[in-house]
Amino acid sequence: MSTCPSLMIAGCGDVGTRLGLRLATAGWTVYGLRRAVEKLPAQILAVAGDLQGDGCPPGWPAGGLDYLVYCAAATERDEAGYRAAYVDGLRRVLGWLAQHGQRPKRLLFVSSSSVYAQQDGEWIDEGSPAEAASFSGRVMREAEQLALASGIAASLVRLTGIYGPGREWLLNQVRQGYRVASEPPLYGNRIHVDDAAGLLASLLQADARGLELADCYIGVDDEPAPLHEVVAWLRGQLGVSHWAEQSTVRRSGSKRCSNARARTLGWAPEYPSYREGYGAILAER
């Protein structure tokens, strides 16, 4: 492998672009596959293509690719949309690699903590059962298995709730007086978008240095927290004193995810909790 590895990011959206910029700055050759390539910065070599299209993108690189990151996002929030984005799209990309005789050293498949069904505040790690009954969890597990059976060394990266600039649903809800149950506490897990990209970069760089990667990592900050606690803190930061008239909103699911395995590689979140992450967003206002 060359001293400056090459990387294809299939589905190069927000997380993928942040990842690509980090590695391009480190000297990597980074290709980004997406439909709207005009949104890609110059440091990422644009490959115009559709993960739901049958033909291999004409701009697909002809040379070897050292790494593949599959980082798609479903545009339709139903089972068919999830299957098209995660299972069918990954199968197409694996076919395009084979078509060009390319066998990357490793595939990172960006998955989700939605594969876990636990909902009683349990601590979750990579060895916990991933048996979600929801269509999103089931389809994601199917895509994970496709990645692991691809014939390429693969690692799953199960990201938790991504937030950051442009991902401000909770902030907007709090401004409107969002109510959330406090008993029993509803634990939520989150990761700042820059930390999600940083984790992916850390995994790729560790592999390039010859470190052995596990087949699964959870991407989460250091402090899973009850949703009512997060809402209370944000209310204080935003100066919100009113409550919405509707009844208390309950969110399904409650678990606490651990980042201990990712930390063994030397990765640590820049935003260790919601306070630092949301604090940075609010400081930009």
pLDDT along the chain (285 residues), means of 10: 84 98 98 96 97 92 95 92 96 97 98 94 96 94 98 98 93 92 90 98 97 98 96 96 76 87 97 98 90
Residue 58 has a CB neighbour count (10 Å cut-off) of: 8
Tally the C-alpha atoms within 13 A of residue 73's C-alpha that lie toward its C-beta: 10
DSSP letters for 84-115? IIIIIHHHHHHHHHHHTT---SEEEEEEEGGG
pLDDT for 144 = 98
pLDDT for 1 = 43
Range of the domain at 96: 6-163+191-220+257-263
Residue 135 has a CB neighbour count (10 Å cut-off) of: 16
242, part of any domain: no
Count of the separate structural domains present in the chain? 1
pLDDT for 272 = 98
Q: Are strands 187-188 and 225-226 parallel, antiparallel or unpaired?
A: antiparallel
250, part of any domain: no
Q: Give the CATH number of the domain where residue 125 resides.
A: 3.40.50.720
Backbone angles phi, psi at 36, to 5 degrees: -90, 75
Which residues, in sequence order, are CB contacts of 132 under 8 Å at separation 6+?
114, 115, 116, 117, 138, 141
pLDDT for 249 = 62
Tokens matching residue 259: 């980042």
271, part of any domain: no
215, part of any domain: yes
pLDDT for 239 = 96
- Cβ-count burial 170-204 (b if 16+ within 10 Å, e if not): bbebbeeebbbeeeeebbbbbbbbbbbbbbbbbbb
148, part of any domain: yes
pLDDT for 252 = 66
179, part of any domain: no
Which residues, in sequence order, are CB contacts of 223 under 8 Å at separation 6+?
272, 273, 274
pTM: 0.96
pLDDT for 181 = 81
Which residues, in sequence order, are CB contacts of 33 under 8 Å at separation 6+?
8, 9, 10, 11, 12, 47, 48, 49, 51, 57, 93
Residue 134 has a CB neighbour count (10 Å cut-off) of: 15
Tokens matching residue 241: 């004193």
Express the helix, strand and coil content of the chain in percent, nearest 5 each. Answer: 35, 20, 45
87, part of any domain: yes
24, part of any domain: yes
pLDDT for 251 = 59
Residue in 214, 243, 198, 64 with CA at minimum distance from that of residue 153? 214
CA distance 267 to 14: 20
